[in-house]
Structure 1
Amino acid sequence: MIFNAKNRAQQAELEALYRSQAVIHFEPDGTILYANENFLAAMGYTLAEIKGRHHRMFCTKEHAESEAYREFWRQLAAGTFRSAQFMRVKKSGEEVWIEASYNPIFDASGKVVKIVKYATDITQQKRDAIDAACQLEAIHRSQAVIQFNMDGTIITANKNFLDVVGYRLEEIQGKHHRMFAEPAYGNSEEYREFWRRLNAGEHFVAEYKRIAKGGREFWIQASYNPILGINGRPVKVVKYASDITQQKILAADAKGQIEAIDKSQAVIEYTLDGTITTANRNFLSTFGYSLADLKGQHHRMLVRSDEAGGRDYADFWQKLARGQFEARVYRRIAKGGREIWVQGSYNPVLDASGKPFKIVCYATDITKLIQTGQIAEAVVSDTQGIASAVEELTVSIGAISKNMQLSKEAALGILNDSNKSSAAAERLGSSMKLMENVVQLINNIAGQVNLLALNATIEAARAGAAGKGFAVVAAEVKNLANQTTSATEDIAKQIQHVQDVSLTVLEGIQTIERSANSVNTYITDVANSIEEQNLVTREISVNTQKMSASVEDISRRINQISAA
């Protein structure tokens, strides 16, 4: 009675096992004897399709032909129990994973008479485990991973983490996490609260600044993940991290550049249809509006009405909405209708999918530059007039220089003639001196003749009648002598007069000569000065022409900028 009750209990347990598990029976050599419905359903066969065939039908060809497989069945036939996870192949060729035990069944003599396998389909669990393992492997390949006990002491860390912090595993294992924190933070209440919350099961995701070996600072994007045990309580903390130091540096650099642009340029933002969303202080100052005046208004309020209604303006916003960049000089209208010019760029900003979601315009006020271009045009005209006048002045000075050269030559001629006249006057004076000597000689001769005539008269008187004729001749000689004396006196007077005139002429010529020398010196100095002025004027003319060309080029460039 007791035996029957025990058998019934065992039978009930066996039936329960057959209901819950896949069961198959084999000969000790692996030939299939029987399989229950669970096994047949799991593998996709009927009992008739597998009965009498070998177990290898459920294995891959490579495994079935391996020595390990043959050794597996030898051990089972020898009575060795085997339990593990096995990969098998269903009728469809699909792989299936089972958690199975191969149980040798012995007869009364201890001989193995069959093998009974009890199996559970764990394919989905295996797939999930493989997937999780692959994901973990992928995480370990791509991220820095470190594990901590709940008190913050380090359990282990992967190579990526060690590369980031610059330590070997043995240098950090067993030490506290605070070795990576700044001293002030590691000793703070905030840091202790951080670990208390991790112990309570809370996880953290953020950017953290940490300290590597040697005091080097680095930044990580990290998650601290409490891992729960069977009882649902945290047993360890796993941190997954990515080194974002370079991105942080680039972000800081980009932020600095954006702040610099915001300080130096006028910046305004639009929706894709041109509605104003915000503008910085420089833009508001340039255009004379407050943000309240602009926000929600359309960009067309900043352009001329004839331009805002044109096809080109509509195309402009359509291109921006498609992501096309625009940059050139624009004429805009500030508050009160004041016209301004800006060098601007309209920049479509893309979202994560690469689609434009707003437009940012960076602009610089170049109104004064454009006005300078207009002034430059007037300067070009004035400079060209100056250049022409200077050119005419150069020609005029050239003519004056030529005339002064001729005057110099004429003055030299006058000076030479004066020198010749002076020499002639001197020779004339010398001749007058000689004539004075001749007149003196004639006077002496006349005196002697007159004396002889007197003597002859006296002698004629003594001779009486015999001397009358001689007295007549003596009287005539005396008369001739007196006339000669009178004539020579006149000649002497005339010579004296000529000498006086010659002296006056000589003095005049000498004065003229001195004046001519002075004139020649003055003319030479003036001619040299005019020549220098001529050279300077020509240089001014050349430079003025160059300046005119440069100003014209500046004007043209500014006009090109405004027309771009």
Structure 2
Amino acid sequence: MTWLKQSKEQRSDGEALLRSLDRSLATIEFAMDGTILDANPNFLALMGYDLEEVRGRHHRMFVEPGVAESEAYRDFWQDLKRGHYQSAEFKRIGRGGREVWIQATYNPILDRHGRPVRVVKFATDVTDETRRNADFRGQVAAVNKSQAVAHLAMDGTLLDANDVFLRLFGYEREAVVSQHHRIFMEPAAVEGWDYASFWQKLRAGEYQQGEFKRVAHGGREVWIQASYNPILDRDGRPFKVVKFATDVTATKLRTADFTGQFEAISRSQAVIQFDLDGVVLDANENFCDAMGYRVGDIRGHHHRMFVEPAYAASREYDEFWQRLRRGEFFSAIFERVGRNGRKVSIQATYNPILDMNGRPFKVVKYATDVTLNMEARARAVGATAQTLSNVQSVAAAAEQMSASVSEIAGVMVRSKMAVDTINGEAEVADHAQMRLRQAAQSMDGVVQAITKIAEQINLLALNATIEAVRAGEAGKGFAIVANEVKNLANQATVATSRISEEIAAMQGVSDEVADTLASISKGISSVQEFVTQAACAIEEQSAVTRDISVSMQNAAVDVRSIGEGLAAWA
């Protein structure tokens, strides 16, 4: 009775266990040939059928046709017929071809003689989990194809690494497995506190992510974008670290280059950033200094705060921002307004920045303060205008001087002709004076002859007087005649003497005239030489003056062009 009671209790416990399993699991029973005998509601709901739709049909209705015809499927049932237990994750097909994954056990039920008489299958729906796992496996496979992956023990020892990691660092797997992570570090970095803290955080289960500088085989520098991921066990304790890394060395170098260039620009130029509506996002110190603001004074304000109100309200200004929003680039000298209305001139470029799809998303402006240059240029334009006026005045004066010099040259030519005429006439007068002198000399000879005759007559008169005295009374008349002759001789002597004096005076005057004519001739020769030299000099001066006039006209044209260029560039 005790045995029967125990047997009954055991059957009761077994039935209770089966009922419990039936409530929680998907259960189905098969004959040993695979024909369906029964199925509980959990199974039917899982596969999407009613009991009448599956009872009496073969198990192959739940598998893909290719699987049902396979040798592995036949072996699967042969093993069950031999009483072998089957447990695994299986892919099955529900109503409408829906894919169902189950974690199942196929349990052969034995009779009293140990022979299998039917098969009971207990299953759990793991479709979602299987899909998640498949997704995880796919992601891991994809990551392994594209990223460097390394598995590290909590003490930093390398457990494994994929091919991408090994290629990146230039090692064979055997050379790095069981080595410490420090082989990828610079010695100085290994000794630092940051590296020790890095591993302390990982051992505490803290995720580490960032850009890291590492050392590959042969000391080659490598930059990686990496995440160090502590993997937790069921109790939430980290037991290893998986590292996912991407080689960003080339990008890092490009970024360093770009950053260096941008920092260099920021140090030397005024930089401000706007959104596409013109609202200020940020500005560097150079820009704030140029405009007289602090960055907090302008951030969030519209660009129109830097322009004249009339221009800000104009269609031109609206079109300016519309064109920037379309991605158009602007470069020019702009007049802007700083703090307290101060005028500021800037040489600036407005550069639309494009996103990954080539669409503008902000505008960066690079500018240089050229206010002093523009003021100097304005002064230069004014000075150029004044210079142009002066040059034009000088050119006009040069033209007038050229005309005057030409007129003087004509006068000097005529003066030379007049002097040449005077010189000729002086030579004629000199020749006449010489003839006069010769005539005076000739007259002096005549006077001398007359004087001698007068002396002879006077001597004859004296002799006649003597003879008349000797003749007495008979010679009285002759004496009277002799006396008259003597008087005439005396008068002739006196007249001749006066003539001689006059001739001598005329000779003196003639000598003075000769000397004067000689001085005049000499002076005329000097004047003639001077006039000739002056005429030549004035002719040369006239040519030079004409060249100066032409040069000044050309200079006026050049200065006008410079002034127009400065005004246009301003």
- Cα offset, 1:551, TM superposition: 1.5
**154-163 or 422-431, which deviates more:** 422-431
- Is the contact made by 2:32 and 2:116 (CA closer than 8 Å) also made in structure 1? no
- Cα offset, 1:547, TM superposition: 1.4
Q: Is 1:394 aligned with 2:398?
A: yes
- Structure 1 residue aligned with 2:47, among 34, 43, 47? 43
Q: Is 1:544 aligned with 2:556?
A: yes
Aligned equivalent of 1:223: 227
Structure 1, residues 251-288: CA drift from partner, whole Å, max 9, x if none?
A: 55555555555544556678999888876655554455
Question: Which structure 2 residue ranges, 5 or more long, are not aligned?
Answer: none
- Structure 1 residue aligned with 2:162, among 158, 161, 186? 158
Structure 2 CA distance, aligned partners of 1:425 and 1:9?
182
> CA, structure 1 residues 80+439, in 2 after alignment: closer, same or farther (shift >3 Å)?
farther
- Is the contact made by 2:279 and 2:300 (CA closer than 8 Å) also made in structure 1? yes
- Structure 2 residue aligned with 1:167, among 167, 171, 174? 171
> CA, structure 1 residues 317+424, in 2 after alignment: closer, same or farther (shift >3 Å)?
closer
- Cα offset, 1:396, TM superposition: 1.0
Structure 2 CA distance, aligned partners of 1:237 and 1:340?
59
Aligned equivalent of 2:547: 535
- Cα offset, 1:224, TM superposition: 1.4
Q: Which residues in structure 2 correspond to 1:226-375 (within 5 Å)?
A: 226-249=230-253, 251-253=255-257, 255-256=259-260, 259-260=263-264, 262-265=266-269, 281-282=285-286, 285-288=289-292, 310=313, 329-332=334-337, 334-335=339-340, 338-342=342-346, 364-372=368-376, 374-375=378-379
Counterpart of 1:547, as a letter, is: V
Structure 1 CA distance, aligned partners of 2:294 and 2:63?
80
Structure 1 CA distance, aligned partners of 2:545 and 2:382?
28
Structure 2 CA distance, aligned partners of 1:297 and 1:78?
85
- Cα offset, 1:491, TM superposition: 6.5
> CA, structure 1 residues 428+77, in 2 after alignment: closer, same or farther (shift >3 Å)?
farther
- Cα offset, 1:406, TM superposition: 1.9
Structure 1, residues 56-89: CA drift from partner, whole Å, max 9, x if none?
A: 4333344445566566667777887765433232
- Is the contact made by 1:26 and 1:114 (CA closer than 8 Å) also made in structure 2? yes
Aligned equivalent of 2:524: 512
Aligned equivalent of 2:197: 193
Counterpart of 2:247, as a letter, is: D
> CA, structure 1 residues 300+189, in 2 after alignment: closer, same or farther (shift >3 Å)?
closer
Structure 2 CA distance, aligned partners of 1:187 and 1:414?
113
Structure 2 CA distance, aligned partners of 1:446 and 1:398?
70
Structure 1 CA distance, aligned partners of 2:414 and 2:207?
113
- Is the contact made by 1:377 and 1:555 (CA closer than 8 Å) also made in structure 2? yes
Counterpart of 1:25, as a letter, is: F
Counterpart of 1:410, as a letter, is: R
Structure 1, residues 19-39: CA drift from partner, whole Å, max 9, x if none?
A: 6354342555xx524342244
Q: Which residues in structure 2 correspond to 1:362-441 (within 5 Å)?
A: 364-372=368-376, 374-376=378-380, 378-379=382-383, 381-414=385-418, 416-417=420-421, 420-421=424-425, 424=428, 427-428=431-432, 431=435, 435=439
- Structure 2 residue aligned with 1:23, among 17, 22, 28? 28
- Is the contact made by 1:272 and 1:320 (CA closer than 8 Å) also made in structure 2? no
> CA, structure 1 residues 510+323, in 2 after alignment: closer, same or farther (shift >3 Å)?
closer
Q: Is 1:8 aligned with 2:11?
A: yes
**128-137 or 197-206, which deviates more:** 197-206
Structure 1 CA distance, aligned partners of 2:536 and 2:325?
80
- Is the contact made by 1:414 and 1:516 (CA closer than 8 Å) also made in structure 2? no
- Is the contact made by 1:425 and 1:502 (CA closer than 8 Å) also made in structure 2? no
SS in 2 for 1:45: coil
Structure 1 CA distance, aligned partners of 2:321 and 2:537?
77
- Cα offset, 1:486, TM superposition: 8.5
Structure 2 CA distance, aligned partners of 1:313 and 1:536?
49
SS in 1 for 2:96: coil
- Cα offset, 1:508, TM superposition: 0.8
> CA, structure 1 residues 490+50, in 2 after alignment: closer, same or farther (shift >3 Å)?
same
SS in 2 for 1:174: coil
> CA, structure 1 residues 537+322, in 2 after alignment: closer, same or farther (shift >3 Å)?
closer
- Cα offset, 1:325, TM superposition: 8.2
- Is the contact made by 1:387 and 1:545 (CA closer than 8 Å) also made in structure 2? no
- Is the contact made by 2:273 and 2:283 (CA closer than 8 Å) also made in structure 1? yes
> CA, structure 1 residues 350+440, in 2 after alignment: closer, same or farther (shift >3 Å)?
closer
- Is the contact made by 1:25 and 1:115 (CA closer than 8 Å) also made in structure 2? yes
- Structure 2 residue aligned with 1:133, among 126, 133, 137? 137
Counterpart of 2:142, as a letter, is: A
SS in 2 for 1:202: coil
- Is the contact made by 1:32 and 1:50 (CA closer than 8 Å) also made in structure 2? no
- Structure 1 residue aligned with 2:63, among 49, 59, 62? 59
Structure 1, residues 98-137: CA drift from partner, whole Å, max 9, x if none?
A: 3445667899999988776554433222111101111212
Aligned equivalent of 1:177: 181
TM-score (norm 1): 0.74
Aligned equivalent of 1:562: none
Structure 2 CA distance, aligned partners of 1:421 and 1:162?
123
- Is the contact made by 1:35 and 1:47 (CA closer than 8 Å) also made in structure 2? yes
RMSD over equivalenced CA pairs, Å: 5.3
- Cα offset, 1:369, TM superposition: 4.6
Equivalenced residue count is 547
Structure 1 CA distance, aligned partners of 2:54 and 2:102?
18
Structure 2 CA distance, aligned partners of 1:70 and 1:448?
196
> CA, structure 1 residues 411+67, in 2 after alignment: closer, same or farther (shift >3 Å)?
farther
> CA, structure 1 residues 48+288, in 2 after alignment: closer, same or farther (shift >3 Å)?
closer
Structure 2 CA distance, aligned partners of 1:277 and 1:80?
74
Q: Which residues in structure 2 correspond to 1:75-154 (within 5 Å)?
A: 84-100=88-104, 119-154=123-158
Counterpart of 1:554, as a letter, is: L
SS in 1 for 2:95: coil
> CA, structure 1 residues 148+48, in 2 after alignment: closer, same or farther (shift >3 Å)?
same
Structure 1 CA distance, aligned partners of 2:296 and 2:308?
21
Structure 2 CA distance, aligned partners of 1:404 and 1:313?
63
Structure 1, residues 448-474: CA drift from partner, whole Å, max 9, x if none?
A: 988998999999999x99xx9xx99xx
- Cα offset, 1:213, TM superposition: 3.1
- Is the contact made by 2:28 and 2:36 (CA closer than 8 Å) also made in structure 1? no
> CA, structure 1 residues 368+527, in 2 after alignment: closer, same or farther (shift >3 Å)?
same
**163-172 or 326-335, which deviates more:** 326-335
- Is the contact made by 2:413 and 2:535 (CA closer than 8 Å) also made in structure 1? no
**199-208 or 318-327, which deviates more:** 318-327
Structure 1 CA distance, aligned partners of 2:248 and 2:139?
21
Aligned equivalent of 1:561: none
- Is the contact made by 2:64 and 2:92 (CA closer than 8 Å) also made in structure 1? yes
Aligned equivalent of 1:524: 536
- Cα offset, 1:318, TM superposition: 8.9
